[in-house]
Amino acid sequence: MILSKNDNFIYLFMILSFSDNMRVSQDVLNTQGLPFQAGIPVSTNLFFNRKKELNELKTVFLSIKKGVRQDVALISPRRFGKTSLLLKLKEELEKEDIVVIYFDCSKVFPFSIENFLEIYIKETLSVFCKKEGWKILPSRIADAVAGSPEAVTDVVASLVSIIGVEFGDFMKIWFQVKKREKKPSALFESALDLPERLSKKTGLTTFVIFDEFQLLKEFDKDFFWALRARMQEHKRTAYAIAGSSIGLMNEIVSTKGSPFYNMFLVRTLKPFEDKDAIDFLKQRFKSANFSIDEDGLVAIMEKSGNIPFYLQWLGLNSYLLALHLKKRTITKEIVDSAYANGLLTIPQFEREFGVFTKTQQMVL
């Protein structure tokens, strides 16, 4: 299929507007009624397959309610749907009355241990406040953790009256570190133990997810040892670490001498099976009152390698092109054109972006 210059411009504008904006909001996508979603974690009906992995992880982590704790490491290349699976797992476990703290290590910026602990505390308190119905605005927690000791005394006292001494104990150490009366390492035990202490206080069980865990390797070499020491003491809190840097994650969980050597049940994600990819594509195109012929299916599967992100991406590109061309059936010709105009730039971007350090990525 040869697109005219005008067609090509319009199509590329659609791709840039809908597909290449990797921060497009869920609300916008739902409003547009797009059958595919690329670039951000998927949810609801756009989450497909992974039933085996999801059920296995649920079984493992639900066992903590019976006193059996098993931690898991989920290792997956980029774009295989790792984060989508973790967020779906979070949703499922929350239905089982488990407190779930999802922590994206890539959101720590500037990248420092102090910022890591500060964000971790905020996330922990926010989740427990929501779960227990504690009448506390998230902004008050943020003010208490981020403010100076002198400025937030009343706020801290008010929060302690609601949350309890667990919060007060942490804030005491937090203020001592801010006043440089203690080293930041003094925060480790208090901050990392907070989910466990709140679990005991509330009678609940907690599941902590560290996504992109390998980024924490940039911290001081003793950080992992300190984290391991605290995790091993916990009875009501289970952990999942996940990462997309295969080499670093394998080094963390499988290398002798690593603090986390043989500590986790290790699982990996693979591309979809052909049958699952076909079912997914047919279902999603049908949801938009489109169809896809056999050659179109083969073309998308071959070009995407059945990797979830690329199935979503090429499906979306093909849908937008067919929409512009006023076609209701996705053919190989449409897929080939969509691929040529949209998909070829992605692998190059990811390869080039991946060579930068965490700090450089955040700046970019």
Q: What is the mean pLDDT of residues 52-69?
A: 90
> Which of 237, 268, 299 finishes a domain?
268
Amino acid, res. 155: V
List CB contacts of 249: < 8 A, sequence separation 6 or more. 73, 75, 213, 214, 241, 243
Tell me the one-letter amino acid at 42: V
Q: Give the largest Cα separation in the chain, rounded.
A: 70
Give residue 348's pLDDT. Answer: 54
Tell me, yes or no, whether 204 and 126 share the same domain. Answer: yes
Please give the residue that has the higher pLDDT: either 45 or 30. Answer: 45
Domain boundary among 268, 293, 313: 268
Which residue range(s) make up the domain with 344?
Answer: 5-48+272-354
Report how far residue 232's alpha carbon sits from residue 234's, in angstroms, rounded to the nearest whole number. Answer: 6
Instruction: Output the six-digit token pair for 3.
Output: 């697109």
Please give the helix or strand (H or E) that residue 15 lies within, else none.
helix 5-18
The answer to the question of residue 200 being in a domain is yes
For the ranges 1-10, 139-148, 177-186, 299-308, which has the lowest average pLDDT?
1-10
Look at the chain and report how many structural domains it folds into. Answer: 2
Domain at 228, CATH number: 3.40.50
The verdict on 152 and 248 lying in the same domain is yes
Give residues with Cβ within 8 angstroms of 104, minimum separation 6. Answer: 83, 211, 212
Element holding 73 (H helix, E strand): strand 72-75
Give the helix ranges, DSSP H, for the chain.
5-18, 26-32, 51-62, 82-95, 113-132, 138-146, 153-163, 165-178, 186-192, 194-202, 222-233, 246-254, 274-287, 294-304, 308-325, 332-338, 345-354, 358-363
User: pLDDT band at 338, cuts 50/70/90?
Assistant: very high
Question: If you average pLDDT over every residue of the chain, what do you get?
Answer: 80
pLDDT, one tens digit per residue, over 96-142 is: 999 999 999 998 888 888 788 888 988 998 898 888 887 665 566 65
The region of weakest confidence among 221-225, 226-230, 243-247, 255-259 is: 221-225
How many CA atoms, within 13 angstroms, populate the side-chain half-sphere of residue 324?
Answer: 20
Whether residue 178 lies inside any domain: the answer is: yes
340: its two tokens: 């040529």
Q: Note the residue count of the chain.
A: 364
Whether residue 131 is found in the same domain as residue 258: yes
pLDDT at residue 26 in the model: 43
Query: Same structural domain for residues 26 and 163?
Result: no
Angle at 119 between CA 113 and CA 123, to 5 degrees: 140
In angstroms and rounded to an integer, the radius of gyration of the C-alpha atoms of the chain is 23
223 and 318 co-located in one domain = no
Q: If pLDDT is split at 50, 70 and 90, which confidence band does 214 have?
A: very high
Work out the angle between the directed axes of helices 294-304 and 308-325 (0-180°, nearest 10).
140
DSSP 1: -
Residues 153-167, mean pLDDT to the nearest whole number: 62
Domain match, 348 and 254 both:
no
User: What percent of the chain is predicted at pLDDT more than 90?
Assistant: 45
